[in-house]
Amino acid sequence: NVELIEIPQRSDSVRKNAADIQMAVDAMELALTRDFVSTFVIVSGDSDFTPLVSKLRELNKRVIGVGLKGSTSAMLPPACDEFIFYDRLDGAPKRAPKAGSGGASKAKKKSSGDRGGGETREKKSSQKQDLEAVKRLVTKTLAGMQSSTSGAVQASNLKRALLRKDPTFSETDYGFRGFREFISHLADEGLVTLTEGSAPGDPEVDFPTKGKDESQAFQLLREVVKDLMVELGGDPPLSGLKDQLRKRQPDFSEKEFGYAGFLQFCKAAVTKNYVEMDWEEPDEEYYLYVEDDTTPTD
């Protein structure tokens, strides 16, 4: 149901923010007097609502924002639990292009026709780059969740974590109908694995198991550490070591072998005698080294 709220206004005065103030007052009244109301939807792109959103979230309320992509303030989406751009929704009306003068309009049509193929290719290239960026966001978020919890990561919890990092995230922007379809696509590409969880339709998400080339990655680590020991005249620290590996193998990623982080990868290399690693309390840093008399075991 929709309730119309009357806002009295005198004919000889203009109250620009009267509706905004009324919305804020009503929202706070509901939040404080109606405990069962857990979610608020604010249809606006105005940054003036940012303090209201922050206050509602302080009161443990979930806030969903809805606005137009082109007119929404950059301050509002990050403040919300989730932000939906209205013009991206299925069935949203498309804006008609502005009609110009006859000659100019024809010239534009011709020009756009000539550029049509190029624009399509540019759009596809942009979408591909965006998808690669969101893949990195997913792996980074999943790795962070695995390092902070001992249990399995449910797909629903992963999406909530993604929305906390980017409230405007929506799998539909990349051509997927739902998050399950999106995460299944990542599983098909070998980026993650899915197993049925305790809740139907909410699978557990994990990184793929260790690959057959893991020993080559460990050997690369061993060689880099040995070379750095000579170059530095001492044991190299863990920080910055991953960058050294990528100088030799730019596409290196411990996640390809099922490790949530580089430290976990190095600890696995230690267990197989590829390297040794010690924690130095004064520096609060791990240092790696190779003993010549040790032989790696696979």
Same domain flag for 81 and 47: yes
Residues forming a β-bridge with 277: 288
More confident residue, 209 or 70: 70
CA distance 143 to 120: 35
Does any domain span residue 283?
yes
Domain end among 156, 185, 206: 206
Burial code of 60-88, b = ≥16 C-beta within 10 A, e = fewer? ebebbbbbeeeebeeebbebbbbbbbeee
CA distance 224 to 67: 51
63 membership: H or E segment, kind and range: strand 62-67
Does any domain span residue 10?
no
DSSP string for residues in 283-296: TTEEEEE--TT---
Same domain flag for 224 and 201: no
What's the CATH number where 30 sits?
A: 3.40.50.1010
Domain end among 206, 222, 242: 206
At 218 the pLDDT is: 92
CA distance 250 to 245: 8
Same domain flag for 218 and 202: no
Whether 32 shows a pLDDT value over 90: the answer reads yes
Same domain flag for 44 and 61: yes
Does any domain span residue 224?
yes
Most distant pair of Cα atoms in the chain: their distance: 92
Number of domains in the chain: 3
Does any domain span residue 111?
no
Whether 40 shows a pLDDT value over 90: the answer reads yes
What strands, in cross-sheet order, belong to the sheet with 82-85? 39-43, 62-67, 82-85
Same domain flag for 28 and 76: yes
Same domain flag for 136 and 179: yes
Each residue of 218-265: pLDDT tens digit? 999 999 999 999 999 999 999 999 999 988 888 788 877 878 789 989
What's the CATH number where 242 sits?
A: 3.30.420
Each residue of 89-133: pLDDT tens digit? 766 565 555 554 444 444 444 444 555 555 555 555 555 557 888
Helices and strands, counts by H and E, the chain: 9, 8
Same domain flag for 202 and 219: no
At 189 the pLDDT is: 84
Q: Are 254 and 202 in contact (CB under 8 A)?
A: no
Same domain flag for 183 and 160: yes
Same domain flag for 201 and 234: no
Does any domain span residue 239?
yes
Distance in angstroms between the alpha carbons of the first and the last residue of the chain: 66
Same domain flag for 183 and 218: no
Residue among 92, 167, 161, 170 at smallest CA distance from 131: 170
Does any domain span residue 259?
yes
Residue among 81, 92, 91, 98 at smallest CA distance from 41: 81
Each residue of 50-69: pLDDT tens digit? 999 999 999 999 999 999 88
At 153 the pLDDT is: 87
Range of the domain at 261: 214-289
Same domain flag for 194 and 219: no
At 105 the pLDDT is: 46
Residue among 227, 217, 219, 206 at smallest CA distance from 262: 217
- Residue 253's CB is within 10 A of a number of other CB atoms, namely 15
Does any domain span residue 145?
yes
Does any domain span residue 294?
no
193-195 vs 204-206, strand pairing mode:
antiparallel
What SS3 state is found at 171?
helix
At 108 the pLDDT is: 47
Same domain flag for 262 and 193: no
Domain end among 174, 206, 238: 206
